[in-house]
Amino acid sequence: MEHIEAVADMIVESNRVVIFTGAGFSTESSIPDFRGPQGVWSQFDPSELNLPNFLRSEEIREKYWQVHKMFWETVREAEPNSGHYAVAELHNIGKLDCVITQNTDGLHQKAGLPDEKVLELHGTMHWVDCLECKRRYPREEVHQKMLAGEAVPRCDTCNGILKPATVAYGQSMPERETRESEVRSAACDLFLAAGSSLVVYPAAQMPVIAKRGGAKLVILNIGETPHDHHADVVIAEKTGETLTKIIARVKEKLSA
């Protein structure tokens, strides 16, 4: 309870709060993480499914789409959890600068956050891009092509290679989102990292950028992270329940 009060006070005193979310934030929506015992990479080899292999091999493309088909079928049915709604409430009360997320599931937007408030560092599962003509397809449209028998879907316009609009191993991070995340992190007065192991760079650099810029740093994660020693507060609890309690206290303090 002491940590809840401390973080609620920090939010009340802040004007620009940045929330950073990782895979652990969405596990409470029944979306498996990548690195856990039941994660995607316990069934597939991530080093094999990288971008260079995807571009050169039809066999790898088929395996890549097999992984994404499985993941999409989970993501499209998933609902935001209490943590997503707590972050949306932070936006509603005027304290949220932005969400920086490593997640590709779109659950922050589904919980009510405007697109412009969400910086998706690892792309999105909700769209598919043609690597040749750059046409963009809704993910469900491509999913239906696969259900109709296309193991490796192709672009209807140019027959080019289609790829989910997520960042693959060996693919560069999106420039605009990465640059804006760095700027927002440096300018915030409170940075709260939730549900991330903070080991994947350059995303994991954002808390350090925020701290160097003078922000308070809160880390909310079940396991330890390499940045815990930088944090003003570390809470080893579930993200959804804890954020819900924190935002409830923030609203009480603001109304008082």
Question: Which of 108, 122, 143, 227 does the annotation list as catalytic?
Answer: 122
Check if 122 is active-site: yes
Kindly tell me if the per-residue pLDDT of 42 is higher than 90: no
Kindly tell me if the per-residue pLDDT of 39 is higher than 60: no
Q: Picking from 32-46, 193-207, 217-231, which range would have the lowest pLDDT averaged per residue?
A: 32-46
Which residues contact residue 149 at a Cβ distance below 8 angstroms, ignoring those fewer than 6 apart?
A: none
pLDDT of residue 47: 74
Distance of alpha carbon 147 from alpha carbon 149, whole angstroms: 5
Kindly tell me if the per-residue pLDDT of 37 is higher than 70: no
Conformation bin of residue 93: beta by default, left when phi > 0, alpha when psi is -120 to 50? alpha
Here the contacts of 129-133 (C-beta below 8 Å, separation 24 or greater) are: 129/162, 129/163, 129/164, 129/165, 130/155, 130/157, 130/158, 130/160, 130/161, 130/162, 131/55, 131/160, 131/161, 131/162, 131/163, 132/158, 132/159, 132/160, 132/161, 133/157, 133/158, 133/160
> Can you list the alpha helix ranges (DSSP code H) found in the chain?
2-13, 23-26, 51-56, 58-75, 82-92, 107-110, 139-147, 175-187, 206-212, 239-255
As given in the structure block, the two tokens for residue 27 are 């596990």
Which residues contact residue 53 at a Cβ distance below 8 angstroms, ignoring those fewer than 6 apart?
A: 60
* Distance from the first to the final alpha carbon of the chain: 19
CB 132 within 8 A of CB 160: yes
Give the percent of the chain with pLDDT over 70.
95
pLDDT of residue 30: 87
141: pLDDT confidence band, cut at 50, 70 and 90? very high
Total residue length of the chain: 256
- Specify the pairing of strand 17-21 against strand 96-101: parallel
Render pLDDT for 165-194 as a digit per residue (tens, 0 to 9): 999 988 899 999 999 999 999 999 999 999
State the CATH number of the domain containing residue 141: 3.40.50.1220
Q: Picking from 75-84, 136-145, 199-208, which range would have the lowest pLDDT averaged per residue?
A: 199-208
Q: Picking from 15-19, 66-70, 162-166, which range would have the lowest pLDDT averaged per residue?
A: 66-70
State which residues form the domain around 75.
2-255
Please compute the mean of the pLDDT values over residues 2-27 and round it to a whole number.
95
pLDDT of residue 48: 83
Residue 46, phi then psi, degrees to nearest 5: -65, -30
CB 186 within 8 A of CB 209: yes
Please compute the mean of the pLDDT values over residues 69-87 and round it to a whole number.
94
Which residues contact residue 97 at a Cβ distance below 8 angstroms, ignoring those fewer than 6 apart?
A: 16, 17, 18, 184, 187, 188
C-alpha torsion 231→247→4→103, nearest 10: -40
The pTM of the full predicted model, rounded to 2 decimals, is 0.93
Please tell me which residue, 36 or 142, carries the higher pLDDT value: 142
CB 14 within 8 A of CB 190: yes
CB 188 within 8 A of CB 215: yes
Based on the structure, what is the number of domains in the chain? Answer: 1
Q: Picking from 33-37, 59-63, 112-116, 195-199, which range would have the lowest pLDDT averaged per residue?
A: 33-37
Kindly tell me if the per-residue pLDDT of 235 is higher than 90: yes
The DSSP code for 256 is -
pLDDT of residue 125: 95
